[in-house]
């Protein structure tokens, strides 16, 4: 019985994943990479801005273990007025 419990505990501990450890270098590199790949766009419209925000979140949290859903939703579902403000700030 103890052998079974120990093996079950070992198996379950192997399944538990630790969230990725992000370093400032990782974040900086990803943001610079995204900016380089999107530099060819002449005009930043709301659709591109929404996709950029979604890709940013996806790149920063591929395993969906760092951000909470309630933190992501306000960022990727910005109201039209905030998108315009953000788009004007990027220009």
pLDDT band, very low/low/confident/very high, at 18 (cuts 50, 70, 90): low
pLDDT band, very low/low/confident/very high, at 39 (cuts 50, 70, 90): low
Does some domain include residue 81? yes
pLDDT beyond 60 at 41: no
Tell me which residue range forms the domain holding 40: 20-90
Q: For residue 10, give the 3-state DSSP assignment.
A: helix
Does some domain include residue 4? no
Closest residue by Cα to residue 56 from 11, 86, 18, 91: 86
Does some domain include residue 6? no
Given this model, what pLDDT does residue 60 score? 84
pLDDT band, very low/low/confident/very high, at 91 (cuts 50, 70, 90): low
pLDDT band, very low/low/confident/very high, at 12 (cuts 50, 70, 90): low
Q: What six digits make up the tokens of 3?
A: 């052998």
Count of residues making up the chain: 91
Does some domain include residue 11? no
pLDDT beyond 80 at 73: yes
Does some domain include residue 35? yes
């Amino acid at each position: 019985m103890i052998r079974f419990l120990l093996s079950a505990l070992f198996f379950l501990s192997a399944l538990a994943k630790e969230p990725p450890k992000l370093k400032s270098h990782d974040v900086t590199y990803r943001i610079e990479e995204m900016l380089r790949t999107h530099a060819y766009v002449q005009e930043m419209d709301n659709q591109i801005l929404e996709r950029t925000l979604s890709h940013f979140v996806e790149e920063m949290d591929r395993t969906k273990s760092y951000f909470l859903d309630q933190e992501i939703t306000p960022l990727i579902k910005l109201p039209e007025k905030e998108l315009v403000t953000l788009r004007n700030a990027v220009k």
